[in-house]
Amino acid sequence: MSDDVIDDLLARASDLDARSPLSGTRERFVLPDGVIYLDGNSLGALPRTVGPVLARVVEHEWGDRLIRSWNEADWWGAQTRVGDRIGRLVGAAAGQIVVTDSTSVNLYKAIVGAARLRPGRRVVLTDPASFPTDLYLAEAAARVEGLEVRRVSPADAPQAIAALGPDLAVAAYSSVDYATGELWDLERITSAAHDVGALACWDLCHSAGAVDVRLDAGGADVAVGCGYKYLNGGPGAPSFIYVAARHQDAFDQPLTGWFGHANPFEMAREYVPASGIDRLRVGTPPMLSVLALEAALEAFDGLSMADVRAQSLSLTSIFREAVATLGVGLALATPAADRQRGSQVSLRHPEAFAVVQALIARGVIGDYREPDIVRLGFAPLYVTHVDAVTAAQQLNEVLDSREHERPEFATRHAVT
Ligand SMILES: Cc1ncc(COP(=O)(O)O)c(C=O)c1O
């Protein structure tokens, strides 16, 4: 491979960075020198706004104002305030999203609540390749409601939904596949579910903040998503749950904690759900994490999701081009077509784990997913086109030199 070809690609990458509507948004983040961070689909980078806000919250709102901050600083309203802010990124009008619990817990609430809106129907449909927690919680929801889970790829979901007809209660799918990065058609699967009178539940973990999701326009019924991936809320940031306004008053979610009560401080002996999205709350939220997520979302200020999505596609496409130009001989697990691609590129290699470790040692941080996936996430706000081309070069060098075969890259830790 001549150096000229790569020099040309790098020059084009640099030009794309300079001309991008997101040019300069990387400065909104704290990123270590010498690191190309391609794991924002696992744990987003640290926005500069978060540290100062957390320091103020800890020292002033907690340290000084103590319990008074629930009212004075409106800690009480933070979960829906932050929910509305996320709504602007995922195409949901205000009053339909609350930040609460983990994605796993919210999946359970979402699927049970949706199934209860369709009594008498006995099937929950989901993707066999779902992130495991989605499968586990679909099974848990089905068990408690006396339903059956059927596993059908999203590619075949519209036909399966039509065949199930009045038996289908809920179709529960992920917008972007966590392993392959394939983007599924939310509107198509949702409308297939609606055609048979069923509801659609979406997991937005790998799309919120990177893909221009349109929950309201797409007709989604319920949805959940992560706060710590492309939304950059920090490790263990709370998740969010969306329930379309039209379903809220009848939504019978199973975890009836006091934060979802109509009048929590009445200390009533019987549960009465709050009206609106507030009924999806459960118990006292991790307020520091809720407020860290709120501060993190400022990184999206002034950006349109159309531009964020365009940047994401441009990054993944120049990375793919660089991989092809360099002749990196790995099979791509992520579809080539823009409309089928989320914000990551996954490549298959029999020793994918070791390849990822060797890349990390070179400062290119991605992650490994079973059984053979090198997973590289392109967070549009802080990954540049130059990063994308450089990462492809580094990957090529690792494979050419067989660096991944070094024994130190075989050691597995608890988190891969
Ligand atoms: C698609 C998907 N759903 C759910 C989760 C995790 O959920 P939780 O926040 O409960 O750990 C992940 C985490 O990577 C995920 O990729």
pTM above 0.85, yes or no: yes
pLDDT band at 175 (very low <50, low <70, confident <90, very high): very high
For residue range 307-339, list pLDDT tens digits in order.
Answer: 999 999 999 999 999 999 999 989 999 999 999
Find how far residue 137's CA is from the centre of its chain: 17
Catalytic annotation, pick one of 108, 131, 230, 300 = 131
Distance of alpha carbon 76 from alpha carbon 14, whole angstroms: 45
Which of 28, 85, 229, 369 is an active site residue? 229
Q: What is the pLDDT of residues 13-53, one digit of tens each?
A: 999 999 999 999 999 999 999 999 999 999 999 999 999 99
Strands (DSSP E) found in 325-411: 331-332, 344-348, 364-365, 367-369, 373-377
Compute the distance from residue 342 Cα to the ligand 1 centre, in Å.
16
Rounded-to-integer distance, Cα 383 and Cα 212, Å: 18
Phi, psi of 176 (to 5 degrees): -125, 130
Q: The tokens of 313 are what?
A: 């596609």
Tokens of 284: 């006292």
Ligand 1 centre to CA of 65 (Å) is 35
Report the distance separating Cα 356 and Cα 349, nearest Å.
10
CB 357 within 8 A of CB 295: no
Listing from the earlier edge strand, what are the strands of the sheet with 240-243? 97-99, 240-243, 222-225, 199-203, 168-174, 123-126, 148-151
Domains belonging to the chain, first-starting first, are 3-48+304-410 (3.90.1150.10), 74-300 (3.40.640.10)
Q: Region 397-415: what's the mean pLDDT?
A: 90
Report the pocket of ligand 1 as residue ranges, CB < 6 Å: 102-104, 131, 133-134, 174, 178, 203, 205-206, 226, 239
Give the atom of ligand 1 at the shortest distance from the alpha carbon of 228.
9
Catalytic status, residue 229: yes
Q: Which of 131, 375, 415 to mutate to test the pocket of ligand 1 (most atoms within 8 A of CB)?
A: 131
Radius of gyration of the chain (CA): 22
> How many angstroms separate the alpha carbon of residue 107 from the centre of ligand 1?
10
Reading the block at residue 38, the tokens are 């391609």
Residue in 101, 103, 173, 368 to alter for ligand 1 test, most ligand atoms within 8 A of Cβ? 103
Residue 53 structure tokens: 């806000």
Tell me the DSSP string of 336-369: SSGGGB-SEEEEE-TTHHHHHHHHHHTTEE-EEE
Q: How far is the CA of 21 from the centre of ligand 1 (A)?
A: 30
184-194 tens-digit pLDDT: 999 999 999 99
Which of 108, 173, 178, 228 is flagged as catalytic?
228
The whole-angstrom distance between residue 381's C-alpha and the CA centroid of its chain comes to 15
pLDDT at residue number 376: 98
Report pLDDT digits (tens) over 90-144.
Answer: 999 999 999 999 999 999 999 999 999 999 999 999 999 999 999 999 999 999 9
Q: How far apart are CA 5 and CA 13, in angstroms?
A: 12
Q: What are 365-391's pLDDT values in tens digits? A: 999 999 999 999 999 999 999 999 999
Strand partners, 172: 126, 201
Distance CA 44, CA 40 (A): 4
Strand partners, 223: 202, 242
Q: What is the dihedral of CA 133, 412, 229, 113, to 10 degrees?
A: 10
- Across 375-389, b (16+ Cβ under 10 Å) vs e yields bbbbbbbbbbbbbbb
State the distance from the centre of ligand 1 to the C-alpha of 397, rounded, in angstroms. 32
Burial of 251 (0-12, 13-18, 19+ CB in 10 A): buried
Could you tell me where the DSSP H helices lie in 150-286?
Answer: 157-164, 186-195, 215-218, 245-248
Q: Is 203 a catalytic residue?
A: yes
pLDDT, residue 1, reads 57
Q: What is the DSSP letter of 60?
A: I
Q: Which residue is catalytic, options 28, 278, 375, 378?
A: 375
pLDDT on residue 416:
74
CB distance 276 to 248 below 8 Å? yes
